[in-house]
Amino acid sequence: MDKERNWVAKHARRFNRAAVYRDRKRDAKRGYRKHRGGARDSEAG
C-alpha cells in the first residue's frame, strides 16, 4: 500500500515566505517612476 504524498505541503516552507516590497510613495517623492521614462522623453524636449 503506497502512500500518496502531498508535494505542496512538502515544499511550502521553501516557497511561502514574506516578500519585501518597494515603498512606492517614497519612490514617487524621489522622482522614480516605473514606466514612462527613458531616452525618448529626454530627446523630445
Q: Looking at residue 25, what is its pLDDT? A: 92
pTM of the model: 0.39
Residue 32: the pLDDT is 87
Give the model confidence (pLDDT) of 1-45 as tens digits.
Answer: 678 999 999 999 999 999 999 999 999 999 988 888 666 555 554
Q: Specify the length of the chain in residues.
A: 45
Measured distance CA(11)–CA(45) in Å, rounded? 52
pLDDT of 8 reads: 94
Cell numbers linked to 24:
512606492
- Predicted local distance difference test score (pLDDT) of residue 2: 77
